[in-house]
Amino acid sequence: MLLEIKNLHAKIEGKEILKGINLTVNAGEVHAIMGPNGSGKSTLANVLAGHENYEVTEGEIIYKGKNLLELSPEDRAREGIFLAFQYPVELPGVSNTNFLKTAVNEIRKYRGEEEMDAVDFLQMIKEKMKIVELDQALLKRSVNEGFSGGEKKRNEIFQMAVLEPKLAILDETDSGLDIDALRIVANGVEKLRSPENSTILVTHYQRLLNYIVPDFVHVLSDGKIVKSGGKQLALELEEKGYDWIKTDAVA
Amino acid sequence: MNDIANFKNTLTSSFTDFEKSLNGQSKQPLHSIRKEALANFEQAEFPNLKNEEWRYTNISPLLKHSFNPLPAVLPLMYDDIQQFLLGDTFNHVMVFVNGRFDENLSKINNLPDGLIVKSIATDVEEDDPNVLEHFGKYALSEGQIFTSLSAAYTFDGAFVHVQEGKIIEDPIHLLFIADARKDKALIQPRNLFIADKNSQASVLEHFVSLSEDIYFTNTITEIVVGENTYFDHVKLQEESKRAFHISRTVIDQELSSNFTSHAISLGGDICRNDINSKFNDKGGECTINGLFLLDDSQLCDTHTLIDHAQPHCNSHEHYKGILDDKSRGVFNGKVIVRPDAQKTNAFQENNNIILSNEALINTKPQLEIFADDVKCSHGATIGQLDKEAMFYLKTRGIGEDIARAMLLHAFASDVIKTIKLLPVRDYVEAILTKKFNQ
């Protein structure tokens, strides 16, 4: 078992958003978390990554046998957690290359590995760029600055490819993408799929799941997982909408 | 009140000693300028917080000290200054110790044709007509107490003259070394740069100190940028954290001239920079950029004035500040667009990052526009380090300290990257890296 979330409650600015989440993710599994706006999907993603604005009030998260909530965001990343942001942050003045190199070497240092030399590093990132069909010119530019929406999302998946996480959390990576960009992003995620790595896809739309087939689908509503199932559940949601789940849950 | 009187008296009474030290030079025409300036100094008052131009900068700590206007100059060796030579990359270097030109440490014997670099003192001795034509004509003494003080004690400084049509590729490094190990030195280099028509040159003014002692640098630079001439100026101030630094740079821009200024302020307890540029004719271009990086209880005050006196001129100004601890920053950017100065473009921006609860910045754009067909804009921002950016970096495995250094570096890079002298840019980058990683 890679990740176990037990009775997780979390709030932001005094407002409780997560009201008792239970979720288990094993190595190699892809879980889709779906739900209407405001159901707590992004909160769950941010809590897993360690955003300081979210306060966990109850419950626990066990990751690789450790208490995840005790780890700083950077240590979570070094332990193999990766969050692809819904709204990737622009970092004017920080070049993509410098950013990635620092990240890779910080993680290697944590794991007691030697820093990567410049030649190997460049070789490696050029390979990874192909996965998401990113133009190499982007490497010299500032992180996400002046990127189109699609470029930003592809850049997230590119970073994921470079950092090779154990657990990737994709927060609405599909939102706002045209079909070509969606295909590229999905293709990237598929290529990185392996029996050791797990993925949590947070999404509002079923569309992404045409390209990335999940092992499990969970429906989040009002801070709780109200329904879990296989990939069929996603199709059902697409057809019937979220209202059906809400009433179903109450009943 | 006593402080002010004492401060003035010390400096006025030392003037006789200074005159004696000049020997024959006191008969030169320059000496009447000195005497006039001394009279101005005696009459003028020190600015206080009621003075609009000094509203946020209290200079009373400066006035508590008794500075020696004729400080001791101990002989220095190359090893003492090597660390300030930017990897020894420059071919033209003038070294001044406590304001006095040191020929042995300097490197000005291999000058290209059309470039004259010498100490002002030598130039005055040689009766160079350029001195009398330009000296003190831009940085006027009247009513300006610090300029008067500097002019009264004018002795040395850099004289740079680029003759018509000459392109000087190698920058000129002016290294001003403060050595206050022996006494509280008053150091007053007085510089004059003249770039004639169709010429090009770059000058680095570099202020350093040998110890973390108290002293007072009061420096004036006048720059004449001739017709169709390109002049690049960098001022790098890394004085002692206990020093006082007051500087005034006045630029006169002729027809279609292009002037660039970068001021990097890192040192000093109280630092005040005045930069005034005037377009005397059409078609001029002027870029005034700067960065101040402050901590402890440092105060750095930058006042710029760009005078669009003529039409069809462009000015761009970008200042950035990073303030930590109890430091204070002041930025006042004044732009005057006179009635005839149609088709003016004037852009100004000042961005600041505050790293502590106690740091403070006062920023004020001051646009006075009297023409109607102009484009002018200004913007000022004050903020903290972007928390979302910090979180983003951390989620990629980058630790707090490195993430912080990366973001600060990125913030400063807008200004640093526009420095055209690569060795200077690298040197500043290295200083910033060291500071941010502390």
Confirm whether B349 is domain-assigned: no
Q: Which residues in chain B are contacts of A84 at CB distance < 8 A?
A: none
Please state, rounded to an integer, the average pLDDT across all residues of chain B: 94
Nearest to B396 among A51, A52, A163 (CB): A163
Distance from CA of B397 to the nearest CA of A (A): 4
Distance from CA of B286 to the nearest CA of A (A): 24
Confirm whether B326 is domain-assigned: no
Residue A165 has pLDDT above 50, yes or no: yes
Residue A8 has pLDDT above 70, yes or no: yes
Distance from CA of B392 to the nearest CA of A (A): 7
Contact A92 B410 (CB under 8 A): yes
Contact A73 B395 (CB under 8 A): yes
Residues B392 and B275 in one domain: no
Confirm whether B154 is domain-assigned: yes
> Which DSSP string do the residues of A22-79 spell out, in sequence order?
EEEE-TT-EEEEE--TTSSHHHHHHHHHT-TTEEEEEEEEEETTEEGGGS-HHHHHHT
The answer to whether the CB of B271 falls within 8 A of the CB of B328 is no
Distance from CA of A153 to the nearest CA of B (A): 14
Confirm whether B309 is domain-assigned: no
Distance from CA of A114 to the nearest CA of B (A): 16
Confirm whether B306 is domain-assigned: no
Nearest to A106 among B399, B412, B414 (CB): B399
Residues A107-121: what's their mean pLDDT?
94
Contact A102 B414 (CB under 8 A): no
**Chain A residue closest in CA terms to B391:** A51
B239 — pLDDT class (breaks 50, 70, 90): very high
Nearest to B394 among A73, A94, A142 (CB): A73
The answer to whether the CB of B148 falls within 8 A of the CB of B189 is no
A77 touches chain B (CB under 8 A): yes
What backbone phi and psi angles, to 5 degrees, belong to A104? -60, -45
B409 touches chain A (CB under 8 A): yes
pLDDT tens sequence across B1-19: 588 889 999 899 999 999 8
pLDDT tens sequence across B61-103: 999 999 999 999 999 999 999 999 998 889 999 999 999 999 9
DSSP state for residue B155 in the 8-state scheme: -
Closest CA to B393 of A83, A188, A48: A83
Q: Which residues in chain B are contacts of A109 at CB distance < 8 A?
A: none
**Chain A residue closest in CA terms to B414:** A93
Q: Which amino acid is at B338?
A: R
Domain end (from B265, B281, B297): B281
Please give the pLDDT value at position B47.
Answer: 94
Contact A74 B409 (CB under 8 A): no
Please give the pLDDT value at position B123.
Answer: 81
B410 touches chain A (CB under 8 A): yes
Is the Cα torsion angle A38, A42, A48, A49 positive or negative in sign?
Answer: negative
| Alpha carbon of residue B110 to chain centroid | 27
Q: Where are the alpha helices (DSSP H) in B135-173?
A: 145-152
> Whole-model pTM?
0.90
Distance from CA of A240 to the nearest CA of B (A): 36
Give the three-state DSSP class for A54.
Answer: strand
User: In the Cβ-directed half-sphere of B388, how many Cα atoms lie within 13 Å?
Assistant: 7
A251 — pLDDT class (breaks 50, 70, 90): very low
A30 — pLDDT class (breaks 50, 70, 90): very high
Contact B397 A107 (CB under 8 A): yes
What is the tally of structural domains in chain B?
Answer: 2
Given the cut 0.85, state whether the ipTM is greater than it.
yes
Q: Which residues in chain A are contacts of B398 at CB distance < 8 A?
A: 74, 77, 102-103, 106
Residues B123 and B263 in one domain: yes
Q: Which residues in chain B are contacts of A142 at CB distance < 8 A?
A: 410
A185 sits in which H/E element: helix A179-192
pLDDT tens sequence across A68-79: 999 999 999 999
**Chain A residue closest in CA terms to B415:** A93
Mark which residues 103-142 of A lie under 8 Å from B by CB. 103, 106-107, 110, 142
Distance from CA of A107 to the nearest CA of B (A): 6
pLDDT tens sequence across B116-139: 999 988 887 787 888 888 988 999
Distance from CA of A7 to the nearest CA of B (A): 24
B224 touches chain A (CB under 8 A): no
Nearest to A103 among B386, B398, B407 (CB): B398
Mark which residues 358-387 of B lie under 8 Å from A by CB. 386-387
pLDDT tens sequence across B138-197: 999 888 999 999 999 998 999 999 999 999 999 999 999 999 999 999 999 999 999 999
Domain end (from B237, B261, B281): B281
> In b/e form, how buried is each residue of B229-264, taking b as 16+ CB within 10 angstroms?
bbbbbbbbbbbbbbbbbbbbbbbbbbbbbbbbbbbb
A52 touches chain B (CB under 8 A): yes
Alpha-carbon span B64 to A186, nearest angstrom: 70
Confirm whether B262 is domain-assigned: yes
**Chain B residue closest in CA terms to A100:** B396
User: Who wins on pLDDT, B372 or A249?
Assistant: B372
Please give the pLDDT value at position A243.
Answer: 77
Supply the range of the domain harboring residue B398. 388-438
Residues B232 and B106 in one domain: yes
Nearest to B397 among A74, A88, A92 (CB): A74
Domain end (from B246, B281, B316): B281
pLDDT tens sequence across B396-416: 999 999 999 999 999 999 899
Q: Which two tokens stand for residue B182?
A: 């022996």
Residues B313-319: what's their mean pLDDT?
98
Please give the pLDDT value at position A107.
Answer: 96
B357 sits in which H/E element: none
pLDDT tens sequence across A178-237: 888 899 889 888 988 999 999 999 998 888 888 999 999 999 999 999 999 998 888 888
Size (chain B), residues? 438
A94 touches chain B (CB under 8 A): yes
Residues B48 and B166 in one domain: yes
Q: Which residues in chain B are contacts of A77 at CB distance < 8 A?
A: 394-398
Please give the pLDDT value at position B70.
Answer: 93
Confirm whether B310 is domain-assigned: no
Contact B393 A163 (CB under 8 A): no
pLDDT tens sequence across B24-67: 666 677 888 899 999 999 999 999 999 999 999 999 999 999 99
To which residue do tokens 């960009």 refer?
Answer: A181
> In b/e form, how buried is each residue of A169-197, taking b as 16+ CB within 10 angstroms?
bbbbbbbebeeebbebbbbbbeebbeeeb
Alpha-carbon span B422 to A64, nearest angstrom: 49
Confirm whether B363 is domain-assigned: no
Distance from CA of B391 to the nearest CA of A (A): 7
A87 sits in which H/E element: none
Please give the pLDDT value at position A247.
Answer: 56
